[in-house]
Amino acid sequence: MSRLVVVSNRVAPIRQGKATAGGLAVGLHDALRQSGGIWFGWNGEVSKRPETACETIGNITYVTLDLSKPDYDQYYRGFSNATLWPVFHYRIDLARYCRKEYEGYRRVNAMLAEKLKPLLRPDDILWVHDYHLIPFAAACRQLGIGNRIGFFLHIPFPAPEVLTAIPPHEDLFRSFCYYDLIGFQTETDRLAFQDYISREAGGRVEADGSLSAYGQSFCAGVYPIGVMPDEIRRQAESYRGRRPIIGLTTEGRRRKTLISVDRLDYSKGLVERFQAYERFLEHFPEHRHNVEFIQIAPTSRSDVKTYQAIRKQLETVAGHVNGRLSDLDWTPLHYLNKSLDRRTLIGLFRTANVGLVTPLRDGMNLVAKEYVAAQNPADPGVLVLSRFAGAARELSAALIVNPYDCLGMAEALDRALRMPLEERKERYEDMMQALRAADLNAWRDTFLRDLRSFGRHRVVTARRAAAF
């Protein structure tokens, strides 16, 4: 079997026995272990004299490099996270564009391709991840790299009307067409891409679903990312760590708890969620003193301005809710601006009566899937899920809400807390079935199978498009 080369913005080597890594990292490591290969990308460090480091663990070689300060500012902080991230999440109002940053973004992609080239064997298969690396395949082709290259977009792909707000969109998406296979989380994303190719790029969409534009022909498919549901269930069952005292009354009675876990990002709908919770306590006062909400949201990308603003805004709303509604023996909202390790999170999911996952836009949202998988089958909690999370396609048995509808969310919380056991079980079974049918292994294996069989790809794409 040909070697696999994974290219992603960040690389974090996994050492044996390290249980803190997220599911996605573990899934990609498994793929690398199966065929042997390289994981290549940035190590998260910024330095004056960027260096490349190599570390081999088993049959996987991690090749990581630092970024210079201008590269970090322009490629990472600038075009990736201040232009592409907001636009791809439908927040043109938060996006800024600077030509120099775009040039930096292209320059870093070219530099990465150059550093990778000498490490490649002719039959290696390359799997590139996410929006930081859209022009990476084009940079590789320019250097004469002829290997098969696939790309997976973890975030949403927006409608062309939104995308064209990016001034160099044509240049950017011309370079995107050099991939052999482009994977999306949902059919909505794939259709938006197809729309862009036919309406903006003057390309063609063949009857079998394959695409051509700017002299390139390539494929696009839908590969919803999953979790390992039974592994999470086992972890949740065997969790013996710290039990939260949140939710306990002074007499030791247990209150019902709601849980949300996110990176602190404006796409996650945190402010709207806090406001909906406040509305819920106002509108359904019988729940006061009987419910507590735990929000875990560690700061991310704290050196990007919009992230500083959302953090401040959230602190204000959290303070407002607690200031208004708390009592001497009851704090309605616990906002933890910190990270918790994975095992503790899974343990918390198990104990919470409601998982509240209400992003304004999300490629998939693995937290929704992890919450369901961690439930006790005999007494499962209820997932309240935004219709704008990719996960809502598969988890249609959740209580689906519109995060812009404050009262609608408040009503869904009331319904979730009152839901009879039989209905909770039915919804849980339905969702577990969906999680098992499209788990993390299926995501990885179908993408790699399609990439490896590129050339025979037309049939595959048509089949996959029909399936979602």
Residue 59, token pair as written in the block: 């049959």
Q: How far is the CB of 300 from ligand ADQ (least distance, A)?
A: 8
> What backbone torsions phi and psi does residue 72 show, to the nearest 5 degrees?
-60, -45
- Which of residues 210 and 351 has its CB atom nearest to ligand ADQ in the complex? 351
| Cα 251 to Cα 253: distance, rounded to the nearest angstrom | 6
- Which of residues 10 and 279 has its CB atom nearest to ligand ADQ in the complex? 10
Q: Amino acid identity of 468?
A: F
Determine, following the binding rule CB under 6 A, whether residue 263 of this chain makes contact with ligand ADQ. Answer: yes
- Which of residues 50 and 269 has its CB atom nearest to ligand ADQ in the complex? 269
Q: How far is the CB of 431 from ligand ADQ (least distance, A)?
A: 16
Site string for ligand ADQ, 15-54 (x = CB under 6 A): -------xxx------------------------------
Per CB under 6 A, the list member of 345, 348, 372, 435 interacting with ligand ADQ is: 345
Determine, following the binding rule CB under 6 A, whether residue 241 of this chain makes contact with ligand ADQ. Answer: no
- Which of residues 292 and 411 has its CB atom nearest to ligand ADQ in the complex? 292
Told to judge if 362 belongs to the known catalytic residues of this protein, a careful annotator would answer: yes
Q: How far is the CB of 216 from ligand ADQ (least distance, A)?
A: 25
Cα distances from 178 to residues 7, 174, 219, in angstroms, run 15, 8, 10
| Cα 221 to Cα 341: distance, rounded to the nearest angstrom | 33
Cα distances from 465 to residues 18, 118, 187, in angstroms, run 37, 36, 7
Among the residues of 374-420, which ranges form H helices? Answer: 406-418
CA angle at 44 for the pair 38 and 49, rounded to the nearest 5° = 95
Determine, following the binding rule CB under 6 A, whether residue 393 of this chain makes contact with ligand ADQ. Answer: no
CA angle at 74 for the pair 70 and 77, rounded to the nearest 5° = 110
Q: How far is the CB of 341 from ligand ADQ (least distance, A)?
A: 8
DSSP 248: B
Q: How far is the CB of 319 from ligand ADQ (least distance, A)?
A: 20
Stretch that binds ligand ADQ, among 243-251, 281-289, 358-366, 409-417 (CB under 6 A): 358-366
DSSP 192-236: HHHHIIIIIS--EE-TTS-EEETTEEEEEEE------HHHHHHHH
Determine, following the binding rule CB under 6 A, whether residue 154 of this chain makes contact with ligand ADQ. Answer: yes
DSSP 130: S
Q: Pick the catalytic residue: 89, 129, 132, 154?
A: 154
- Which of residues 95 and 139 has its CB atom nearest to ligand ADQ in the complex? 95
Per CB under 6 A, the list member of 262, 272, 292, 411 interacting with ligand ADQ is: 262
| Cα 83 to Cα 211: distance, rounded to the nearest angstrom | 26
Q: How far is the CB of 345 from ligand ADQ (least distance, A)?
A: 6
Reduced to 3 states, what is the DSSP secondary structure of residue 349? helix
Residue 130, token pair as written in the block: 């996410």
Determine, following the binding rule CB under 6 A, whether residue 261 of this chain makes contact with ligand ADQ. Answer: yes
Q: How far is the CB of 361 from ligand ADQ (least distance, A)?
A: 9
DSSP 15: P
Count of positions on this chain that bind ligand ADQ (CB under 6 A): 22
- Which of residues 287 and 350 has its CB atom nearest to ligand ADQ in the complex? 350
- Which of residues 216 and 223 has its CB atom nearest to ligand ADQ in the complex? 223
* Continuous segment of H or E residues that includes residue 182: strand 181-184
Site string for ligand ADQ, 295-324 (x = CB under 6 A): -xxx--------------------------
> What backbone torsions phi and psi does residue 194 show, to the nearest 5 degrees?
-60, -40
Contact indicator for 105, 80 with CB cutoff of 8 Å = yes
| Cα 367 to Cα 344: distance, rounded to the nearest angstrom | 13
- Which of residues 364 and 412 has its CB atom nearest to ligand ADQ in the complex? 364
Determine, following the binding rule CB under 6 A, whether residue 439 of this chain makes contact with ligand ADQ. Answer: no
- Which of residues 145 and 340 has its CB atom nearest to ligand ADQ in the complex? 340
First to last CA, the chain: 29
Stretch that binds ligand ADQ, among 202-210, 304-312, 361-369, 400-408 (CB under 6 A): 361-369
Q: How far is the CB of 61 from ligand ADQ (least distance, A)?
A: 24
Q: Pick the catalytic residue: 265, 362, 439, 450?
A: 362
Determine, following the binding rule CB under 6 A, whether residue 364 of this chain makes contact with ligand ADQ. Answer: yes
Determine, following the binding rule CB under 6 A, whether residue 363 of this chain makes contact with ligand ADQ. Answer: yes
| Cα 49 to Cα 345: distance, rounded to the nearest angstrom | 38
A 10 A CB-CB count for 195 gives: 16
Q: Report, as residue numbers or ranges, the catalytic residues.
A: 154, 362
| Binding interface with ligand ADQ (CB under 6 A) | 22-24, 154-155, 225, 261-263, 296-298, 339-340, 345, 362-367, 370
